Structure 1
């Protein structure tokens, strides 16, 4: 089966979607397409738990789910693709790209995730403060007001996917909704997953064609909770082997929403709402912020 080629090429400090040119898909592959700090690692762990079906297995679910577009890996794209090709289980693959930058295959599954943009912004700030890698320190400084203004003003045309921006998150959503009519494209939201992890994991299981007895499924859900993943951060957080974080458990910050409360004033919130309204319809805004609609 041939794929529809990526419509748009994204390139930045971390990302090069040309890497997809060397990728060979396998029927049943699962593509996890989620903007940064919007639940990517969570969805990777959910897929791994459901596919392997063993709540006691010490498997680094995020590590065996490669980020194909990542250009700074110590391992070449050829080496990473060889390791992916050697996998005999159902493969699940990470992407931060909008769907217009990811190849589409009718016999694969696409799991799309989103999160309230303001939570993404503050989660990303915390994430960068916890990193030992300095490539994107310039994007988030100690000046929180300047950081937020940049988040509103930055364009995906400046540094591709690697400059956090409200525009990127909005475009990711619009790209996904343009494909949501396809039977193999499934939309998820961080808020809904937080409120009903069991039900959302059932949706994931159905989407990827996996089923487990109720008792086992309960145990898999327990392993996918924020508390469980944070307590097992040395196994669950990506990039641990490379010493990417000052504190591995801090990769999982709080898992809670409304991180902006007490941090943004009324004028900043008004600027945010005005910018978002210029990028999305009212229905799209409602979904992006709440998962409803």
Structure 2
């Protein structure tokens, strides 16, 4: 396969700003980059993986689940995998979601300083060291070794992924950014690869000012929204999964050319319920707790699964900021978030 030159410019985030951010995000030790004309914000290590990701082989049988983080990604991954694999509950229960879906760019978030720390903490367990090597291996390498149908998780926007991505099936899921930022705040506190130690209001400021991982948020969504009519793109909203999960299941089934009975759909919806998810070890990223990347005493990877929960966190000033920020960013698009 011909290797393409990486077409996007990468600029280091200004040293003073990077230093300030690393005081809050203690898992990063080198700095950050902005990528492409939209300035996507990523760890400095992305420089090493950018071209490999852009040039990775796309197989027509591949399935990508893409999203901005905390938009219902895990929920969508399990839904998509179950539908595409003929409701194979036995494999779903036996094989963790992390094994079924390599996380394409996760390795760029495991800084060498942190990896060394995790290796030291796990040095007395060969099994844990092996797990650590596996989760920190570049996703492109994991995927190249796979012979079976590949399911891929990524939080990268379309413009940072291979230009022929839509030769594969792509499911994109989006969520109200106010709920996203609340959920991502909790995850960033629990994941030592980010290690956020500030308060929520400061976190919100970083997020809306595009000084946070995978931002700018709205540009991320718009890239996929603009491709939503492509036959290999399915665009979902977290809110529609929350409001009418059976309808969302049918949309996914149609996308993959599958037909299921009402009884089968009902059972799958039970399997996908937040209550079931919270106790399902296969989808709870337990491997991250086992090797110490996720702080063990936190609530876990699956939280409340509540649409509109942001109201418990935003004060009047933040709510006003959010309304203006959302309106400003949606002014040139027909993208709108469903509300109850």
Counterpart contact for 1:41–1:238, Cα < 8 Å:
no
Partner in structure 2 of residue 12 of structure 1: 43
**Could you say if the C-alpha distance between residues 199 and 77 of structure 1 is closer, same or farther in structure 2, counting changes exceeding 3 Å?**
closer
Note the C-alpha offset of 1:153.
1.8
Partner in structure 1 of residue 322 of structure 2: 272
Q: Deviations over 1:212-246 (max 9, x none)?
A: 344333322221121111111x2112362544332
The alignment's TM-score, normalised by the length of structure 2, stands at: 0.71
Counterpart contact for 2:67–2:154, Cα < 8 Å:
yes
Which of these residues, 270, 278, 282, is aligned with residue 235 of structure 1?
Answer: 282
Note the C-alpha offset of 1:17.
3.6
Number of aligned residues: 274
The alignment's TM-score, normalised by the length of structure 1, stands at: 0.81
Q: Using the alignment, how far apart are the partners of 1:222 and 1:237 within structure 2?
A: 17
Partner in structure 2 of residue 75 of structure 1: 137
**Could you say if the C-alpha distance between residues 172 and 236 of structure 1 is closer, same or farther in structure 2, counting changes exceeding 3 Å?**
same
Partner in structure 1 of residue 129 of structure 2: none
The runs of 5 or more residues in structure 2 that have no matched partner are 9-34, 111-134
Matches within 5 A, 1:1-293: 8=8, 9=35, 11-12=42-43, 15=46, 16-21=49-54, 23-52=56-85, 53-57=87-91, 58=93, 59-70=95-106, 71=108, 72=110, 73-77=135-139, 79-83=141-145, 85-87=146-148, 90-103=149-162, 104-131=164-191, 133=192, 135-138=193-196, 141=198, 143-155=199-211, 161=214, 165=215, 168-232=216-280, 234-238=281-285, 240=287, 242-245=291-294, 246-247=296-297, 250-281=300-331, 284=334, 287-288=336-337, 290=338
Q: Any idea what SS the aligned residue of 1:80 has?
A: helix
RMSD: 3.0
**Could you say if the C-alpha distance between residues 220 and 262 of structure 1 is closer, same or farther in structure 2, counting changes exceeding 3 Å?**
closer
**Could you say if the C-alpha distance between residues 170 and 227 of structure 1 is closer, same or farther in structure 2, counting changes exceeding 3 Å?**
same
Note the C-alpha offset of 1:113.
0.6
